Structure 1
Amino acid sequence: MTRLIQPIHRGETVIAEVAVRKPDTGAMRGLKLTDVLQMDVNSMVRLLPRVTEPALMPSEVEALELPDLLALSSEVVGFFMTAEQIRQERATLQ
């Protein structure tokens, strides 16, 4: 769950936290895996509405503060890491 720096206002609803689900093949349709892994903004604008809860609209993704977009995109990319890559990443952070 990511707490947004700038909450999204959708009518009377305020979205302050967004969860990201692991993308499946269906969520990736029409996207290039390399673009997603590089956190290409256009790819994230298409993918995040498919894997967020609550489901964000493309226009809401486009309006995100850059740190919020980076945080959500990083969560997506994290789903593609192998166990060994995760161990290496943790080792470099210590």
Structure 2
Amino acid sequence: MTEQAKQANPHTVTLDTPIVRGEQTITEVTLRKPNSGELRGTSLNALVNLDIDALVKVLPRIAIPQLTEFDVRELDPSDLVQLGVTFADFLLPNRAR
């Protein structure tokens, strides 16, 4: 992803290790800002701490293209961290960004 594309959509992550599903290969994942209901089943504390189980619940709800919990569990650790940090940005108030 180019620097210009990152500035256009800072919530898009280029995966170090693409997700392969049959003939489909996912190389980029865009996260959209979740609403409060999409955070159900976890805690804000767990999400702020980038808890793996919390991310496995929430990322499939806000990822484009849609990911499954299995996809998230099978991510390369560096990709999970990149997605987690991108997600954590949504938890900050606008003035803190």
- TM-score normalized by the length of structure 1: 0.87
Higher radius of gyration, 1 or 2? 1
In 1, Cα distance between equivalents of 2:56 and 2:31: 14
Q: What residue number does 1:67 align with? A: 78
Give yes or no for the alignment of 1:39 onto 2:75. no
Q: Is residue 2:48 matched to residue 1:13?
A: no
CA-to-partner distance for each residue in 1:46-67, whole Å, 9 max, x for gaps? 1100010011111110111111
Deviation for aligned residue 1:31: 1.2
TM-score by length of 2: 0.84
Q: Percent identity of the aligned residues?
A: 34
RMSD: 0.9
Residue pair 2:38, 2:61 contacting (<8 A) in 1 also: yes
Measured in 2, the distance between the counterparts of 1:2 and 1:10 equals 18
Q: Structure 2 CA distance, aligned partners of 1:22 and 1:83?
A: 13
Runs of 4+ in 1 over 4 A off after TM superposition: none
Secondary structure of the corresponding residue to residue 15 of structure 2: strand
Match of 1:29 among 20, 35, 40: 40
Residue 27 of structure 1: how far off its partner (Å): 0.7
Q: Which residue of 1 aligns with 2:7?
A: none
Alignment gaps of 5+ in structure 2:
1-11
Post-superposition shift, 1:25?
1.2
Q: Equivalents in 2 of 1:58, 1:38: separation in Å? A: 19
